[in-house]
């Protein structure tokens, strides 16, 4: 059975969203100040240790990344804020429109942590993925040992589906990457 997929999904995901008093600002709509703020977060040691790319990003490298998103139909990034408080970054990447799947990711503002914000970011990523992008399957990857993330994703309904053995070299040793997922039928 071939389930139709909305071809306008990429266009929909390139916009800003408002959910229950929270604003999700698409990277393509960030001000210069917000672009620099996100780059500062991305370069924070706490964020870099949880990502595949762990070098410090120059402003030109960061701006090039954002500019490429303008024509990218597979990768979508937002900054989440409440009023004037910036909470974190969320993204849906590697969107496969034919098979209706993608990968989520997020990181919190390392300079202004708010308890419970991770759960909120995951909630809106699920909403974006299943209600707006009409994906069927959502995946994520996290490093072994990232217990807070694993607990959060389990609480939100994601299940471990596999491991990529010794997939990343971090902190002087090889680490497994845990693959977790859910389908739109498993939303809690």
> Shortest CA distance to 112 belongs to which of 89, 87, 90?
87
Tokens of 102: 């993608």
Domain spans in the chain, listed from the N-terminal domain onward: 9-186
Residues 50-69 have pLDDT tens digits of: 888 888 999 999 999 999 99
More confident residue, 113 or 57: 57
**Alpha-carbon separation of residue 28 from 11, 24, 53, 106, 145 (angstroms):** 12, 12, 21, 17, 33
* Cross-strand pairs, 26: 78
Return the C-alpha torsion angle 61, 65, 71, 76, nearest 10.
-170
CB atoms within 10 A of CB 77: 22
CATH 3.40.630.30 correct for 9-186: yes
Residues 18-38 have pLDDT tens digits of: 999 999 999 999 999 999 999
Could you give the CA distance from residue 2 to residue 145 in angstroms, rounded to a whole number? 39
Tokens of 159: 């299940």
**Alpha-carbon separation of residue 77 from 16, 24, 27, 158 (angstroms):** 10, 9, 6, 21
Cα four-point dihedral sign 13, 77, 146, 170: positive
- Give long-range contacts, CB 8 A cutoff, 24+ apart: 3-8: 3/100, 3/136, 5/97, 5/98, 5/100, 5/134, 6/134, 7/97
Instruction: Give, to the nearest 10 degrees, the angle between helix 147-155 and helix 117-127.
Output: 50
Residues 114-148 have pLDDT tens digits of: 889 999 999 999 999 999 999 999 999 999 989 99
The pLDDT of residue 1 is above 50: no
Could you give the CA distance from residue 132 to residue 158 in angstroms, rounded to a whole number? 19
Mean pLDDT in residue range 33-54? 91
Q: Give the three-class secondary structure for 182.
A: strand
The CA-based angle 138-140-141, given to 5 degrees, is 160
């Amino acid at each position: 059975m071939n389930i139709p997929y909305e071809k306008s999904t990429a266009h929909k995901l390139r916009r800003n969203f408002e959910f229950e008093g929270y604003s999700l600002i698409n990277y393509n709509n960030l001000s210069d100040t917000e672009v620099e703020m996100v780059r500062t977060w991305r370069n924070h040691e706490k964020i870099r240790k949880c990502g595949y790319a762990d070098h410090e990003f120059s402003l030109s490298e960061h701006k090039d990344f954002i500019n490429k998103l303008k024509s990218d139909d597979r990768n979508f990034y937002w900054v989440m804020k409440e009023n004037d408080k910036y909470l974190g970054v969320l993204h849906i990447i590697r969107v496969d429109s034919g098979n209706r799947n993608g990968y989520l990711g997020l990181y919190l503002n390392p300079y202004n942590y708010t308890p419970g914000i991770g759960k909120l970011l995951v909630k809106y990523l699920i909403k974006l993925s299943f209600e707006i992008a009409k994906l069927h399957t959502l995946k994520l990857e996290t490093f072994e040992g990232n217990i807070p993330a694993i607990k959060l994703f389990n609480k939100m309904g994601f299940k471990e589906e596999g491991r990529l053995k010794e997939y990343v070299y971090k902190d002087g040793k090889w680490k497994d990457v845990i693959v977790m997922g859910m389908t739109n039928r498993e939303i809690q």
